[in-house]
Chains A and B, each alone.
Chain A
Amino acid sequence: MSIYPRFRGRLLRPTPSMLKGASRLMAWHGKVCELLPLERVLVTLNHREPDRVPALTFLLGGARRLTGISYRDFSCNAQKAAEAYLAVVEILGGDALYNVIDLSVEAADFGQEILYPAHTTAHPDYRKPRIRTVEDYETLEVFDPRKSPRMSTVIELGRILAKKAKLRYPVLGFIFGPLGVLAMMRGAQNLFLDCARHPDKVKAGLEIVTEVLVDYARAQCDTGVDGVMLDTLFASQSAISRRLWEEMEGPYAQRIAEEIRRCGALVALHNCGRGPYFDLQIKYIQPVVISFAYLPDDCRDNRDLKEKYGRQTALAGYLPTEAMVRESPKRVMEMAREYIQELGPGGGFILATGCEYPPNHDLANAVALIQAARKYGRYPLRL
């Protein structure tokens, strides 16, 4: 049961212009009292200054430690994963809930064998790839993600979180991009070679995967999540060229994004590659927020980033994973302060880790991140 009422089977959500108007009122409200996380994020996404900079730890697999569940339960049991994620915001804080489990969810339901290690993220068994040869792209089959084992778990997780959030926290769904899903079934190295040698074969696979992901987006939106985050990892200098991304993923990711918008939900984007192609991803996906780990390929520094992209999309980032692993909480707070000062003015900025918080690492730096937003992120910022 969604928090939004239904009309002829569709959820009745506020329109973007209604949200924009509401954010104006909330921004004013935030000047005099503390906002709810949902209000804070909404104001931020509309490029206004809320009461303070919102914060996100991206504690995913690490969330299991807060409720003492196994990694396998976190990966496969929606109720237990939901309890873990709710514990994150209750114990550590943070301004959003998200139903990210891991990047192997979609591939698993296409038939890829998955390993569930005790102390690390579930991942494909690359010794047994679902796509063994270029001919296998065409053998993938369309299915209903509501009835497949792992995607239905994620859908259910979104449903529980949306219900529990009760308009207090925004809830984000999650979908790994189509090229990423193929990489999970073929191995990234083989996929890259196939893109160069047999692009038409890869595109045949992309068509099938995208059809399922579009339906998956619809199913997630139908649970009442406020938005869905697409992960287009390969749109960066870590992976493939701008030209190849435009050919091999841009149009497919666009179809998923359009479906999310058609359902009335917000489109968010995550890309933790080095030198992400912000301009291309905005062109195809038009996200309201981009979560990122490195500066875009066409930006020199944070000021340049804010100037180039700060009005086109909200920015969520980008405390480095390495800092979360190695630096002291005090140093993390100092780094966070610098990001807030450079990216926070005018709103449109969420303080976050660039990628998943190290799942087995001390949680002190997650606390530091949240504290930094509370201490240094209060608007008007002291620059």
Chain B
Amino acid sequence: MSERDILKELAGKVVEGDEEGTVTLCKKALESGWSPQRVIREGLNQGMREAGALFDRSEIFLPELLLAVESVKAGIAALFPTSSSDMETSEKTKVVLGVVEGDVHEIGKNLVKAMLEAEGYQVIDLGFDVPPRNFLEAVSSNHAEVLALSTMMTTTLDSMRRTVEMARSLDTVPLIVVGGAPLNQDIAKDLGADGYGENAARAPEVLRRLMIE
């Protein structure tokens, strides 16, 4: 089996959410002498991208996408058995991501994280119910280029607005993107955000577009 075939099969295992198969192929790739970075980039992340595209077209749904995320995690753990994947982090665009204060819904945020990591971003995940000052501290201390905020409730839109306003007062203002059920493009604009992501699968595209602009 050629290198290309193995990477293609690995991507397929991620799409299928087959953790065991993903781990087996990752180990096989390592044994063949390939760099873990390449396996991640061309195998695991490619699979995640394909899964994201299927999700965006409603051909797969949350459980299947979550299984794909779990497969990627298992694959990375197999590639870096003794430590976390400290690969080329200095070159990556840093994104501070979290669910705003008062909100505890984090599936969307977790999927955004997986999709962005698959595209090579370094994501600093602050979790859910995050106060505005924690976002700002994380942006400053990590020199993050992007602040990504999520909420699923209308009652926490004020919290999101407050976070955006405070981020705008930083010395170096990051690109601010928002997403979540009660939002649309217009509301995102009203909140003062630079961009809006309709769903997790589209998050990388939104960032790519904003960074070009």
Whether A193 contacts B156 by the Cβ 8 Å rule is no
Q: How large is the interface on A (under 10, 10 to 19, 20 to 34, 35 or more residues)?
A: 20 to 34
**B7-15, B31-39, B104-112, B166-174: which lies at the interface:** B104-112
B residues near A240, Cβ cutoff 8 Å: 61-63
Whether A275 contacts B155 by the Cβ 8 Å rule is no
Q: Tell me, in angstroms, the Cα distance from A364 to B185 when the chains sit together.
A: 22
In chain A, positions 278-332 with a C-beta closer than 8 Å to chain B are: 297, 321-322, 324-326
B residues near A237, Cβ cutoff 8 Å: 58, 61
CB distance from A261 to the nearest CB of B (A): 30
Whether A326 contacts B67 by the Cβ 8 Å rule is no
CB distance from A341 to the nearest CB of B (A): 23
Whether A196 contacts B17 by the Cβ 8 Å rule is yes
A residues near B182, Cβ cutoff 8 Å: 321-322, 325, 358
Contact of A126 among B67, B104, B158 (CB under 8 A): B104
B30 lies within 8 A of chain A by Cβ: no
Q: Which of the listed residues B70, B155, B182 has the most CB atoms from chain A within 10 Å of its own CB?
A: B155
Q: Tell me, in angstroms, the Cα distance from A359 to B157 when the chains sit together.
A: 11
In chain B, positions 52-78 with a C-beta closer than 8 Å to chain A are: 58, 60-64, 66-67, 70
Whether A196 contacts B156 by the Cβ 8 Å rule is no
A120 lies within 8 A of chain B by Cβ: yes
Contact of B154 among A188, A192, A193, A359 (CB under 8 A): A359
Kindly report which residue of chain A lies nearest to residue B63, judged by CB atoms.
A192
Kindly report which residue of chain A lies nearest to residue B190, judged by CB atoms.
A326
Q: Tell me, in angstroms, the Cα distance from A241 to B17 when the chains sit together.
A: 15
Whether B110 contacts A189 by the Cβ 8 Å rule is yes
Q: Tell me, in angstroms, the Cα distance from A322 to B61 when the chains sit together.
A: 23
B210 lies within 8 A of chain A by Cβ: no
A residues near B91, Cβ cutoff 8 Å: none
Q: Tell me, in angstroms, the Cα distance from A324 to B184 when the chains sit together.
A: 12
Q: Tell me, in angstroms, the Cα distance from A70 to B104 when the chains sit together.
A: 21
Whether A241 contacts B61 by the Cβ 8 Å rule is yes
- A193-B70, A195-B63, A240-B63 as given contacts; A326 in contact with B58, CB under 8 Å: no
Whether B63 contacts A360 by the Cβ 8 Å rule is no
A residues near B86, Cβ cutoff 8 Å: none
Q: Which of the listed residues A188, A326, A361 has the most CB atoms from chain B within 10 Å of its own CB?
A: A326
A residues near B157, Cβ cutoff 8 Å: 325
Contact of A239 among B62, B105, B184 (CB under 8 A): B62
A134 lies within 8 A of chain B by Cβ: no
- A189-B110, A322-B182, A322-B183 as given contacts; A120 in contact with B62, CB under 8 Å: no
CB distance from B152 to the nearest CB of A (A): 10
Kindly report which residue of chain A lies nearest to residue B189, judged by CB atoms.
A326
A31 lies within 8 A of chain B by Cβ: no
A residues near B190, Cβ cutoff 8 Å: 326
A244 lies within 8 A of chain B by Cβ: yes
In chain B, positions 62-101 with a C-beta closer than 8 Å to chain A are: 62-64, 66-67, 70
Whether B154 contacts A361 by the Cβ 8 Å rule is yes
A119 lies within 8 A of chain B by Cβ: yes
B residues near A244, Cβ cutoff 8 Å: 61, 63
Binding site for B on A (CB under 8 A): 61, 117, 119-121, 123-124, 126, 188-189, 192-193, 195-197, 237-241, 244, 275, 297, 321-322, 324-326, 358-361
Binding site for A on B (CB under 8 A): 17, 58, 60-64, 66-67, 70, 102, 104-107, 110, 128, 153-158, 181-184, 186-187, 190
Contacts A/B (CB < 8 Å), 12 sampled: A119-B102, A124-B104, A189-B66, A192-B107, A193-B63, A196-B63, A297-B58, A322-B182, A324-B154, A326-B184, A326-B186, A360-B154
